[in-house]
Amino acid sequence: MDAIKDTDFKFNLQSGKYTGKVRDVYEFPHKIAIVATDRISAFDVILPKAIPFKGQVLNQIATIFLNHTRDLVPNWLESTPEPNLSIGKKCKPFPVEMVIRGYLSGHSWREYKTGKRTICGVNMPDGMKENDKFPSPIITPTTKAHEGHDEDISREEILRNKVIAEDQYIQLEKYTKQLFEAGSKYADERGLILVDTKYEFGELDGKIYLIDEIHTPDSSRYFYQNTYEQLQNENKPQKQLSKEFVRQWLIENGFQGKTGQKIPEMTNDLVISISDRYIELFEKLTGTNFVKDHYDGKLQRIKDQINKLI
């Protein structure tokens, strides 16, 4: 199956390259070019097989939402000349990811069911069950690790250790709430619930910018609105559009990214099903049909566009 597992471009003005879990970031003096590959990660581990069209889905959804929220928060994106390529401002990232949760799901639920009632210094009410809605959204930041696992961190720790200046962190919290509100409204109009998500921010010339991607299935979790109440009342799992189903498959097969655990085999049928789920989310979120970009010559097209624009 065709997919972009990695890239290895070289450019005359290139000042560096950062290889993330999913994205290859090419750095230049004043701009960056980000290639959304088809790699997939879970529990902060890159899985062995790439997922066809995943990078295109992520890049095109992120582009839509970055343009949709530009009036709320300034962002880094300047152009998306290829389905898997974005080019924009080179910002200095803040070393914290701003995670915001509207519902008790995923990591917060895994913590809650062990008996914990505090996450990242934020209290969670007693008597909740998985996927219940919080009284109001909670912000649960994590450190941004270049390698290995991101770690939960509290607001108090961030300020006490001067990870981010207080005035800047207050602004990040404000932006995070505004973006989540906008994303929730957008999802609601399309019959979805934005459950939780994360935002990353950076700084350029003293100004804060939203960077990376937003509201994609890699950074966000969505439930279907029309079945939410019934499934909660019946204590059944929520139907969701996110990569949580990949995490669940890994957990069921004995893998949670811990030392000594082996990643289970990913069959071609599994890879295709994951690809289909990503495309389903694209179409559900955007209300448009997904047009698959052809892989023939794709890497050369991406390279040519970077050379042209930078």
Tell me the C-alpha to C-alpha distance, in Å, between residue 97 and each of 144, 176, 186, 305, 308: 6, 10, 22, 30, 32
Percent of residues, the chain, with pLDDT higher than 70: 98
For residues 144-150, average pLDDT: 64
pLDDT bin (cut points 50, 70, 90) of residue 147 is: low
Report the pLDDT value the prediction gives residue 241, as an integer from 0 to 100: 77
Report the pLDDT value the prediction gives residue 217, as an integer from 0 to 100: 83
First to last CA, the chain: 31
Report the pLDDT value the prediction gives residue 148, as an integer from 0 to 100: 55
Poorest-pLDDT segment among 149-153, 155-159, 290-294:
149-153
Report the pLDDT value the prediction gives residue 213, as an integer from 0 to 100: 93
CB burial string 223-233: b at 16+ within 10 A, e below: beeeebeeebe
pLDDT bin (cut points 50, 70, 90) of residue 117 is: very high
For residues 111-133, average pLDDT: 97
pLDDT at 146 over 70: no
For residues 38-48, average pLDDT: 93
Report the pLDDT value the prediction gives residue 244, as an integer from 0 to 100: 77
Which CATH homologous superfamily contains domain 94-241?
ATP-grasp fold, B domain (3.30.470.20)
Over the stretch 130-141, which tens digit does the pLDDT of each residue have?
999 999 999 999
pLDDT bin (cut points 50, 70, 90) of residue 44 is: confident
Report the pLDDT value the prediction gives residue 242, as an integer from 0 to 100: 73
pLDDT at 6 over 90: yes
Rounded CA gap, 284 and 276, in Å?
12
Kindly report the average pLDDT of the chain as a whole number. Answer: 94
Contact indicator for 35, 23 with CB cutoff of 8 Å = yes
Over the stretch 174-216, which tens digit does the pLDDT of each residue have?
999 999 999 999 999 999 999 999 999 999 999 999 999 999 9
| pTM of the shown model | 0.90
Poorest-pLDDT segment among 47-56, 176-185, 242-251:
242-251
For residues 66-77, average pLDDT: 97
SS (H, E, C) the chain: CCCCCCCCCCCCCCCEEEECCCEEEEECCCEEEEEECCCCEECCEECCCCCCCHHHHHHHHHHHHHHHCCCCCCECEEEEEECCEEEEECCEECCEEEEEEEECCHHHHHHHCCCCCEECCEECCCCCCCCCEEEEEEECCEECCCCCCCCECCHHHHHHCCCCCHHHHHHHHHHHHHHHHHHHHHHHHCCEEEEEEEEEEEEECCEEEEECCCCCCCCEEEEEHHHHHHHHHCCCCCCEECCHHHHHHHHHCCCCCCCCCCCCCCCHHHHHHHHHHHHHHHHHHHCCCCCCCCCCCHHHHHHHHHHHHC
